[in-house]
Amino acid sequence: MESIKLHYDVSGVDFTRAGAASGDVKRVLKQLGVSPVTTRNVAVAMYEAEINMVIHAGGGEIDVEITEDAIRMVLQDHGPGIENVELAMKEGYSTAPDNIRSLGFGAGMGLPNIKKYSDEFRLETELGVGTTLYLTVYMK
Partner 1 sequence: MKIKDIIEILDAEIMCRDDLLEQELHTACGSDMMSDVLAFVKEQAVLLTGLVNPQVVRTAEMMDMHCIVFVRGKRPRLDMIELAEDRDMVMLCTGLEMFTACGKLYEAGLRGGSGK
Q: Residues in the site for partner 1, rule: CB under 8 A? A: 15-16, 18-19, 22-23, 26, 36, 40, 43-44, 47-48, 51, 103-110, 112-113, 116-117
- 13: region left, alpha or beta (phi > 0 left; psi from -120 to 50 alpha): alpha
Cα→Cα distances 93→45, 87, 107, Å: 18, 7, 7
Work out how close the CB of 106 gets to partner 1 at its nearest, in angstroms, rounded to a whole number.
8
Smallest gap from Cβ 44 to partner 1, in A, equals: 5
Residue type for 119, please? D
Kindly tell me which of 1 and 37 has the beta carbon lying closer to partner 1. Answer: 37
Q: Indicate the residue among 72 and 105 with the shorter CB distance to partner 1.
A: 105
Phi, psi of 116 (to 5 degrees): -60, -40
Report d(CA 6, CA 66) in Å as an integer: 8
User: In the bound complex, what is the minimum distance in angstroms from residue 42's beta carbon to partner 1?
Assistant: 9
